[in-house]
Structure formats: C-alpha cells, structure tokens
Amino acid sequence: MQKKKHSGLKWLGRGVFVILVAISLVLIFNEQIKSWMVSSYAPTVSKTTVKKNKQKKTRQADYDFSKVKSLDFQTVAKARIDKQAVNVVGSIAIPSIDLYLPIGRGVSNATLALSAGTMKADQQLGTGNYALAGHHMVKHGALFSPLYYRSEVGQMIYLTDATTIYAYKTTTRQFIKATDVQVINDVAGKRLVTLITCDKTGAGRLMIQGTYVQKWAFNRAPATVQKAFSSHFNNKY
C-alpha cells in the first residue's frame, strides 16, 4: 500500500514538474508564441466567404475605439480558439513592404488580434474614405507593423473583396495624436484609404493615407496584383 502511495506521489510530482516547465516556457517565449499565433492565421477570402460574412447578423461588428486594448497573449489566444471571432470581408496588400492581411469587420479586440479592422460601419471599397486600423507589434512583419517600419509615400495599396481589386497610391505618411479621429471621416469629392496603427510609444498614431487610382474585376487585374492576394498573408517570419 505504501509502495503504491509512494508511486502515486512520484507521478504527481512529475506531473507538477512538467506543468511548471510548460508554464515557464510560455512565460519565457510569450512574445514568440503570440507572434506565431497571429502569423499562422490564414482565413479563406473568397466571394463566398466574404458574402457570407457581410450578411452575418448574429454578431454585430464593434466600432467602439475606446474598448481597444494592447495586444496581449490572452486576446490572441482567445481569438484563435474562436474561429468565428473575425468576420473577414476582404484583404489588403502592399507588396512593396510585404504587407498582406485579411480585413475583418469592426475594431473588436478579437478582430484586431488577427487582421486589419474596418473603422466605420457603412464604409465601402472604392468610395469615400475607407479606413482600417491595425496593431503594431514587436515582430516587424506582423499585422500593421510593416507600415511603421517600411511604408513610404508613393507606394501602392491594394484592397479587395474577392470580386474587385481597388488600387490606391500612398500620398501621406504622418504621425498624429490618438484623438485625431477626424482623419477617417469622408472628404467631399475624394476617394481615399486611411490606415491607422500605433507609433513606437503606443501613445500616438501613424496614419498612412492614399488616393484612389483605379479598380479591376479580380480576374482582370494585372497578374502581379492578383498574385499578391493569392500567395500568402503577411505575418511572415
């Protein structure tokens, strides 16, 4: 009896040790694991999936900027576990800086954990000021980080809903205050795209803005542009 009890305690001790080691590894490699969870997110963006997600009524998109918090491990893990957390309605590509991301509806923490998020409820591609928000991470290739490290005026920005591809040319790269929310408002007579991410401190914002150039039916766009949406999402290693 004593032998069995001793054996049970021995296995319990080993189990506790394994758990402690696992917890330690997670704490040590927290940032790397978080980056991997973001980087490995690759949803299907097709005419069918986009149409389905646009019609979803069960989960209304959240556009309350005040609820957005820093991107922590728990938020990313929860978003990856809940496959329905992100309503993917398109994708964005800026080939010159290796930025390729799904576009999710709204700015909920789950959406921004894995994609670029639409900042206004009724915005439409190719009209008005199409505004997207995205996190800036330590890993230079993840989410909107390439905007901070490599974006320049003159670069082309492509957006698609899997039916049509819209081309914009970057005209502005500017650091702004977090309170300057008016930059996402529509401007009479202009068709714009506005991309917002945090600056290095997290207190301010970096704004990238581009003007509309043209659009193509997806399968009639230049081959290099089509390839940008079919090769991979960013979040590259």
**232 is annotated as an active-site residue:** no
Query: pLDDT by residue (tens digit) across 138-148?
Result: 666 789 999 99
How many other CB atoms are there within 10 angstroms of residue 108's CB atom?
23
Mean pLDDT of all residues in 182-200: 95
Which residue spans within the chain are E strands per DSSP?
A: 88-94, 99-104, 116-118, 129-133, 156-160, 164-177, 192-198, 204-217
Q: How far is CA 192 from CA 81, 84, 85, 147, 188, in A?
A: 34, 29, 28, 17, 11
Active-site residue, from 135, 136, 140, 232: 135
**135 is annotated as an active-site residue:** yes
Active-site residue, from 6, 136, 140, 198: 198
Query: pLDDT by residue (tens digit) across 32-41?
Result: 777 778 777 8
For the entire predicted model, the pTM comes to: 0.83
Given a contact cutoff of 8 angstroms between Cβ atoms, the answer to whether 181 and 65 are in contact is: yes
Indicate the pairing of strand 156-160 with strand 192-198: unpaired
How many other CB atoms are there within 10 angstroms of residue 114's CB atom?
29
DSSP summary character for residue 55: T
What is the rounded CA–CA span in Å between residue 84 and residue 63? 17
Query: pLDDT by residue (tens digit) across 51-91?
Result: 888 877 545 678 888 888 888 888 888 888 887 788 999 99
- Give the chain's end-to-end CA distance (angstroms, integer): 54
Architecture of domain 2-228: Beta Barrel (2.40)
What is the rounded CA–CA span in Å between residue 224 and residue 237? 22
